[in-house]
Structure 1
Amino acid sequence: MARNIQERISSLKERRKGADGLVVLAADSAAYNSYQRKMYLPEAWEQRAGNRPYTQYALGAMQEVEPDYTRIGMQTAERIANQLGKRVGGFNLDFRLQGSVPLNVHIRGVSDVDLLTLIDQQFLSYDPTGIKSNTYWPSSDTSLDQLTQLRREEEPALKNAFPRATVDTTGSKAIKIFGGSLARSVDVVPSHWYDTADYQASGELHDRGVIILDRKANRTVTNYPFKHIRLVSDRDVLAAGGLRKAIRLCKNAKADSDRDIALPSFDIAAIMFHANQAALQTGAVHELAILAETQRHLDYLYSHREEAARLDVPDGTRKIFDTEAKFQGLLSLSCEMDELFKAVAAEHDLFGLAPSIDRGRQLLNEARVQ
């Protein structure tokens, strides 16, 4: 936590208000002008905590991005979906969002949006052990062939639909489009449905998988983005909103850290998914209790590496800590949270001193910040 707290607060404000994302917007666009106007308007969290800057930062780092920013991101993805639906002639397409934006754990005012462009009805994969497997028609086509062709059609379609935008086709799994009249950068992900055995039984979206193209590796990858969103969202309800706040807190701490924290957003969400949800629930009244539980959980995982190594991501597809780099990322994030926790606890100590860990947790679990 080498950068001073005022620098961190400034960085947090700029990130939340989109200042760090203005580069993707055309300087004469309505979106750019709107962000310029909003840049100097304070948010509610900025008025809290009085002369306690570490507390102010911790509270701000937990909050959701202003809903208008999220809405604009979704509308931008919808614009792109509408154009692809009209211009991609070889496929009927279904469109869904995945990632941090629909889960509402994104931390940037101008946040990238992930748009799945799914082949609909014409082609899909299915689990042959499912109860409805005999209702599907096997195809001689392969996922790799179908998705490669879809990508070949989508790249020129995007360029023709948004001639002033930049269409970056170098990515292996997504086509990135930004600039021009677009208010957000959008990652367009060619994909198709995978009907799991669970989906065949339930018909619920969260049980349905997707298969995406990894062009550089010349292979396909199966993901379960809607299961991840559903499970994290359901657990957040049990935690009275504390789980999403803890995830955002970790992501902002990573963004403002001078340390190298090799943990992607998906894994940070997975780590906090296994935190004590009752402790996070305390944050509905004592918001700083979320910081206390986040610090405790990260410290515990790194101190109990064998237990951490057994933890799965929410959708159950792999272990969270499947590389040594992620354990090192956990250490760095834990150190970052230790330092923030101690600084906030000191601000709530009667004598302004850094209390013991146990005393600090007690202070934050009981603190009320208006």
Structure 2
Amino acid sequence: MARDINQRIQQLRTRRDGTRSMATDAYGLDATFAESATPAESWESRGQANQPYTRYALGSMQAVSDTYTRVSKETAFRVAKQLNERLGKRGVGAEFKLQGSVPLDVHIKGVSDVDLLALATELFSYDAHGAKALRGEYRNPAKRTALAVLQELRGFVEIDLQDAFPAAKVDKAGAKAVKISGGSLARDVDVVPAVWFDTAQYQQSGLASDRGTKILDKKAGTTIDNQPFRHIELIGTRCDRIGGGLRKAIRLCKNVKADSDRKIMLPSFDIASTMYHANMDALQLGIYFELSILAETQRHLDHLACDHDFARTLYVPDGSRLIFDTREKLLSLNELSRDMDELLDAVYAEHTPAHLAQHFRSDKRQVISKLAA
């Protein structure tokens, strides 16, 4: 937290603002005008004039405006509509779903990138050990492999995006997604070619949240199994049960990372997965004392940073892999934890006499958890 706190608050405002000046057609200009007219948010007047760290912490927890989120989704659906029409003319059936931070509501940018799954409907794959597979209910073998279908779909998506939005930039270098940005688009959209994957859980439950996908790793020439909707369901359900504290903790971590002077290479998915293992009872206190979310977030990150052996045992919510599966992620955990330590110390100092500043962090957490700010 070495950077000036007022600069951090300004960066937070800018990040949440959602104003985009690059729009060139009527759709983009209307969206930009509507967003830029939004008044100051409530968090900006919380805390006293001499408590900027408190204001920053509280602001970092808040959801992005519904207006900005709506424009993000509408932009993704606009891209989906163009792709659906153009792929259809090629005889390629597809359906489109959102994944990632926006549908989970843990995005921190008013102009947040949107992840759009483009799912080819020619085939789907399945877990051969699932109940339906064992009963022989998958009787029609696909004529092509998932890899072949995805490689073809990736090529079509790259061409069709450029044709549909000639003024936009289409970045084809990504291994998993084709990014389109600029031109008439009010948001950047990452289009991820995919096919459905019927997991064993989905075969048993039939729940949409249990259905997985296979996506293409273009650089490796392989497919990757994902369960994006299970991730959203698990985190969303756990958060709703405690009154919203989990999403606030995730946003807090992501904003602190965004403003950090340190090298923090933890992706959003892993940050969300990390906080999924925090103490939910402690986060639930945020219903009454919102700064208790800062206290629990600092405690949880500190615990993991001080005990890498334990951190290495934690899985992402759907159980598909370990969270901290590389040395780089553990080092990034340490750096994020240090930033959160400094934020906790600074917030505590704003609410207590100077002679109490040397209290242990466990004491500081107890004080902060009961502050009404």
Q: TM-score, normalised by structure 1?
A: 0.95
Q: Quick one: distance in 1 between partners of 2:94 and 2:355?
A: 59
Out of 169, 172, 182, the residue aligned to residue 169 of structure 1 is 172
Q: Quick one: distance in 1 between partners of 2:84 and 2:328?
A: 40
| Contact 1:24 1:178 survives alignment (8 Å) | no
Out of 131, 142, 153, the residue aligned to residue 145 of structure 2 is 142
**Residues 322-348 of structure 1 deviation map (CA, whole Å, 9 limit, x = unaligned):** 011111001100000000001101111
Q: Quick one: distance in 2 between partners of 1:25 and 1:6?
A: 29
**Residues 23-51 of structure 1 deviation map (CA, whole Å, 9 limit, x = unaligned):** 7644984133444444xx31110011122
**Residues 240-292 of structure 1 deviation map (CA, whole Å, 9 limit, x = unaligned):** 11100000000000000000011111111011000000000001100000000
Out of 182, 191, 195, the residue aligned to residue 192 of structure 1 is 195
Deviation of 1:119 after TM superposition, in Å, equals: 1.3
Letter in 2 for 1:282: L
| Contact 2:107 2:251 survives alignment (8 Å) | yes
| Contact 1:25 1:184 survives alignment (8 Å) | no
Letter in 2 for 1:42: A
1:314 and 2:317 correspond: yes
Counterpart for residue 368 of structure 2: 364
Q: Quick one: distance in 2 between partners of 1:352 and 1:17?
A: 38
**Ranges in structure 2 where 5+ consecutive residues have no aligned partner:** none
Letter in 2 for 1:76: T
Deviation of 1:72 after TM superposition, in Å, equals: 0.6
**Residues 118-164 of structure 1 deviation map (CA, whole Å, 9 limit, x = unaligned):** 012x2010112222222221224111100111122222222222222
| Contact 2:22 2:184 survives alignment (8 Å) | no
| Contact 1:193 1:211 survives alignment (8 Å) | yes
SS at match of 1:50: coil
Identical columns (%): 52
Aligned-residue CA RMSD (Å):
1.6
1:21-60 superposed matches below 5 A: 22=20, 25-26=23-24, 29-30=28-29, 31-38=31-38, 41-51=39-49, 52-60=51-59
Deviates more, 1:162-171 or 1:107-116: 162-171
Counterpart for residue 154 of structure 1: 157
Q: Quick one: distance in 1 between partners of 2:103 and 2:216?
A: 21
SS at match of 1:230: helix
1:340 and 2:343 correspond: yes
| Contact 2:17 2:36 survives alignment (8 Å) | no
Deviation of 1:306 after TM superposition, in Å, equals: 1.2
1:277 and 2:280 correspond: yes
Deviation of 1:297 after TM superposition, in Å, equals: 0.5
CA distance 1:144–1:342, change in 2 (3 Å): same
Deviates more, 1:203-212 or 1:157-166: 157-166
| Contact 2:18 2:36 survives alignment (8 Å) | no
SS at match of 1:275: coil
Counterpart for residue 5 of structure 1: 5
**Ranges in structure 1 where 5+ consecutive residues have no aligned partner:** none
SS at match of 2:158: helix
| Contact 1:309 1:319 survives alignment (8 Å) | yes
| Contact 2:35 2:67 survives alignment (8 Å) | no
Deviation of 1:114 after TM superposition, in Å, equals: 0.3
SS at match of 2:195: strand
Deviation of 1:59 after TM superposition, in Å, equals: 0.1
Tell me how many residue pairs correspond in the alignment.
Answer: 364
Deviates more, 1:29-38 or 1:322-331: 29-38
Q: Quick one: distance in 1 between partners of 2:316 and 2:362?
A: 29
Deviation of 1:189 after TM superposition, in Å, equals: 0.7
Deviation of 1:363 after TM superposition, in Å, equals: 1.2
**Residues 277-328 of structure 1 deviation map (CA, whole Å, 9 limit, x = unaligned):** 0000001100000000001101111112211110101111111110111110
CA distance 1:325–1:364, change in 2 (3 Å): same
Q: Quick one: distance in 2 between partners of 1:114 and 1:272?
A: 21
Counterpart for residue 67 of structure 2: 68
Q: Quick one: distance in 2 between partners of 1:15 and 1:56?
A: 15
Q: Quick one: distance in 2 between partners of 1:23 and 1:212?
A: 33
1:292 and 2:292 correspond: no
Counterpart for residue 205 of structure 2: 202
Q: Quick one: distance in 2 between partners of 1:336 and 1:32?
A: 33
| Contact 1:24 1:185 survives alignment (8 Å) | no
Letter in 2 for 1:108: K
Letter in 1 for 2:189: V
1:166-245 superposed matches below 5 A: 166-245=169-248
| Contact 1:283 1:290 survives alignment (8 Å) | yes
CA distance 1:325–1:24, change in 2 (3 Å): farther
Deviates more, 1:76-85 or 1:154-163: 154-163
| Contact 1:349 1:363 survives alignment (8 Å) | no
1:107 and 2:111 correspond: no
| Contact 1:209 1:225 survives alignment (8 Å) | yes
CA distance 1:184–1:90, change in 2 (3 Å): same
| Contact 2:167 2:184 survives alignment (8 Å) | yes
Letter in 1 for 2:79: I
Q: Quick one: distance in 2 between partners of 1:24 and 1:37?
A: 16
| Contact 1:24 1:184 survives alignment (8 Å) | no
